[in-house]
Amino acid sequence: MFRSLAVSFGFNAFASVLGSVAVFLVIAAMNPGDWGRAAAILGAGQFAGAVLSFGSQTERIKRYSRMPPDLLLAVTRANSMSRLIIVGAVFVLAACLFPFLPAVASGLIATAGVFASLGATNHLIAVKKYAAAGLLQVLEKSLALAFAGALIATGTMVPLLLAPVMGLSGVLIAIVSFISLRPDRAAFVDGAKPRAVLAIWKGSFFLGIASVAPSALLLDVTIVIAFAGAAEAGIFALATKLTAPLSIAASAVVAVMLPVLASSTNRRLRGPKGREWLGVVAILVGLGVVFATAQWWVPLLFGAEYAGAVWPARLYVLNVSIVLVTRALVTTLQAWDDERFASALVAGQVAAALIGLGLGAHFGGALGASTSVLATNMVLTCFLIARVRWHAARAV
């Protein structure tokens, strides 16, 4: 598992860096107010994409990992076709809304991209082809970087365009994934059936709650705008996006742990041993360096107008280390078919975090909002540890 984690982490790290470079270029090209509006539209669109997927990507990985190879290919082809049909429907809706609600239409493109991207690598992760799944992620972020760079170079990047840039990249990668499956006529016919399209969400209810609940935090910038204004929201959004590359370890943990634990009957976890500790220590040291040096690199990269993002960025660095633990624990409970309890805990934490975001932004701006997210994640960690230990004790 740790060897697979290293492979997944490496590819996800590279992909995340590419995506973050695209976002950093956009931040540097905008003032805090415009950046805050762009981040709010993107975050709302990404949250809607997570809602639309509603845990179906996790259910697919679990089911695919338990499926015989001869059946897996046919099922994957049909499921991929069904997802692309839904993506097309979202695009049509966005086109209809653009003349009247351009911000909503912009966000819907991001929605389609997130939904498409979440399903693009399910079959690869289920059969433990982490390098292939990672290459698709790298290609997606490379496209986003290329699109963003072209718009910035031509002086046409505006707040409404960031979400479509990210969304189109996700849709294109889903199309590439579908083509790589070499779909036959049966895939188009079976995948286009209304029953098959609706079956995308079959069996993913509690997984969906656990997936969508933390995604509600993508509305964080929108909440900060409402309670503290666009400028504070821009500073807060800088902190969240700066630490986004650090969260790739959490994504790698989920990608590796879920198929391994789901296909096993063992209900005990072992900790890292020997050289595996080097990877753990390396991540912690990296987080520590980023935390300690934030007062220098934040204003150096983005200018004095973003100096207020130093401590929010530091708190988000701490939050990343907590999220690494919570994602691993939630994934463990999901693989052990305890998704109902996990979803309830995650939903409770997110509800508290969203309330805290509003209160924190109102009384403390970007810093107050960052503090609320960190505090609620720490409480969630304690509850999750207790639940995993309970399962382990029953397995003895």
pLDDT, residue 152, reads: 93
Q: Tokens 């009384």: give the residue.
A: 363
Q: Choose from 63-72, 228-237, 328-337 the range with maximum mean pLDDT.
A: 228-237
The mean-pLDDT minimum among 63-67, 353-357, 373-377 falls in 63-67
pLDDT of residue 90: 96
3-state SS, one letter per residue, for the chain? CHHHHHHHHHHHHHHHHHHHHHHHHHHHHCCHHHHHHHHHHHHHHHHHHHHHHCCHHHHHHHHHHCCCHHHHHHHHHHHHHHHHHHHHHHHHHHHHHCCCCHHHHHHHHHHHHHHHHHHHCHHHHHCCCHHHHHHHHHHHHHHHHHHHHHHHHCCCCCHHHHHHHHHHHHHHHHHHHHHHCCCCHHHHHHHCCHHHHHHHHCCCHHHHHHHHHHHHHHHHHHHHHHHHCHHHHHHHHHHHHHCHHHHHHHHHHHHHHHHHHHCCCCCCCCCCCCCHHHHHHHHHHHHHHHHHCHHHHHHHHHCHHHHHHHHHHHHHHHHHHHHHHHHHHHHHHHHCCCHHHHHHHHHHHHHHHHHHHHHHHHHHHHHHHHHHHHHHHHHHHHHHHHHHHHHHHHHC
pLDDT at 287 over 60: yes
pLDDT (0 to 100) of residue 239: 81
Domain residue limits at 16: 2-395
117 CB-contact burial (10 Å; exposed 0-12 / middle 13-18 / buried 19+) = buried
Alpha carbon distance 222, 361 (integer Å): 11
Lowest-confidence segment of 225-229, 283-287, 293-297 by average pLDDT: 283-287
**Average pLDDT across the chain, whole number:** 82
Q: What's the pTM?
A: 0.72
The pLDDT of residue 244: 66
105 or 380: which carries more pLDDT confidence? 105
Q: How many domains does the chain have?
A: 1
**Stronger pLDDT, 284 or 92, i.e. the higher one:** 92
**What length is written for the chain?**
396
Residue that wins the pLDDT comparison between 12 and 363 = 363
* Position with higher pLDDT, 111 vs 309: 111
Q: What is the pLDDT of residues 6-47, one digit of tens each?
A: 666 666 767 777 887 888 888 888 887 888 889 889 989 999
State the pLDDT at residue 259. 54
b/e burial code for range 39-66 (CB count within 10 A of at least 16 → b): bbbbbbbbbbbbbbbbbbbbbbbbbbbe
